[in-house]
Amino acid sequence: MRHFTYLIGTQDDFESIEDLEQEYLNSGTEPITRNMSVYLVNLDEGCKVQGYDTLQEIALMIARGEAMSNDWCLDGTVSILLDF
């Protein structure tokens, strides 16, 4: 099983992808105060989807779909997929 974490935040709150990632990694048990969301995607190693070559690509599309379903858009945001 592979575990992915997708982070998305507004460009008003985050200067870069690194800034977004550090906010998440440094948050620990503290609540995140800047405008961002976190989406977890867990995929079996054998997961295959036609048109996608890697688990990262599949996880990214699933996570983006979740984010877009929760009123995020790619315009004016920064995002990153972490593979833990």
Where residue 28 falls among pLDDT bands split at 50, 70, 90? confident
Q: Domain coordinates of the chain in residue numbers?
A: 2-83
The beta strand positions in 11-62, using DSSP E, are: 36-43
- Write b or e for each residue in 18-57: b if 16 or more Cβ atoms lie within 10 A of its Cβ, otherwise e: eebbebeeeeeeeeeeeebbebebebeeeeeeeeeeebee
Q: Are 11 and 77 in contact (CB under 8 A)?
A: yes
Q: Provide the whole-model pTM.
A: 0.91
Q: What's residue 63's pLDDT?
A: 98
Give kind and range of the element (H or E) at residue 56.
Answer: helix 55-69
pLDDT value for 83: 95
